[in-house]
Amino acid sequence: MVLGILGGMGPAATADVYSKIIAAQAPLSDQEGMSVIVYADPNVPDRSAALLDMGPSPVTALRRGAMALSAMGATHLVIACNTAHAFLEDDGTLGGAHVVDMTTSAVEECVANTEVGEMVAVLGTAGLGRSALYERALNSYGRSLLEIGPEVQELVTRLIYGVKASMDVQLLKRMWDQVESHLESQGIECAILACTELPLIAREAVRGIRLIDPAETVAHAVRILFEDGTNSKSAMTLSARL
């Protein structure tokens, strides 16, 4: 298995996703590690703006990156951007490449830790909200998505682009505190940090609320795929020797 990470959206978030994939795998030596190719293109048009009909489509750039990774030998892709998942093909691929979907792994983690009827919040770009990507998946499991409202969405948007722009960390933390207070006041049981920038600032769990980081959940999904592939190869080698 060769993993391709399609990133640059933004660069710091891409590095964070890669670090979580390494941490989830925790190889005992370099030689036991997974082969990874990182393709970071910060020039991909803004995904949220495109979904809000306020900017050009990122599809061509995303497909170009996916095909470049495939050409370099990647067998599986992780896209280091939640909103970009709204542009996947109907079969879950991108440019013909298999994508390990972080939105799916995040929803599965959320469902495993909540009960039917419990309230879930999804914190991400406004464009991701319009796509209803997470809403449809959560509803299929009987989870109710709480609309966070325009004021909190504006705050989350400022947080996302503030992280991208390397704004003052203390200012960003104060903004996150406001989001946290809103979640607590609404009785949220589970919140999905549905933008790869948010975990860079929201690293501490909210009291009484489970925070789901899609980058961490997809990292575990990748580890399972890698271990399954490794075990299959070991079994094939043993069979050949016998």
Query: Where exactly does CATH 3.40.50.1860 map onto the chain?
Result: 2-101+216-241, 104-214
Provide the β-strand partners of residue 76.
Answer: 3
> What's the rounded Cα separation, in Å, for the pair 222 and 65?
19
104-214 sits in which CATH class?
A: alpha beta
Provide the β-strand partners of residue 120.
Answer: 145, 190
Measured CA to CA in angstroms, residue 156 lies from 1, 122, 138, 159, 220 at distances of 36, 10, 20, 5, 26
> What's the rounded Cα separation, in Å, for the pair 63 and 96?
8
3-state secondary structure of 20: helix
44, 242 Cβ separation under 8 angstroms? no
Q: Is the per-residue pLDDT at 242 higher than 60?
A: no
2-101+216-241 sits in which CATH class?
A: alpha beta
CB proximity list for 67: less than 8 A, separation 6 or greater: 95, 96, 97
> What's the rounded Cα separation, in Å, for the pair 128 and 178?
21
> What's the rounded Cα separation, in Å, for the pair 229 and 242?
20
Provide the whole-model pTM. Answer: 0.90
Nearest one of 231, 179, 180 to 208, comparing CA atoms: 180
190, 114 Cβ separation under 8 angstroms? yes
For residue 37 the two structure tokens come to: 């190719």
Q: How confident is the model at residue 231 (pLDDT cuts 50, 70, 90)?
A: low
Q: Is the per-residue pLDDT at 197 higher than 70?
A: yes
> What's the rounded Cα separation, in Å, for the pair 220 and 226?
10
10 Å CB burial of residue 141 (0-12, 13-18, 19+) is middle
Tell me: the pLDDT tens digits for 209-230? 889 999 999 999 999 999 987 6
Q: How confident is the model at residue 238 (pLDDT cuts 50, 70, 90)?
A: very low
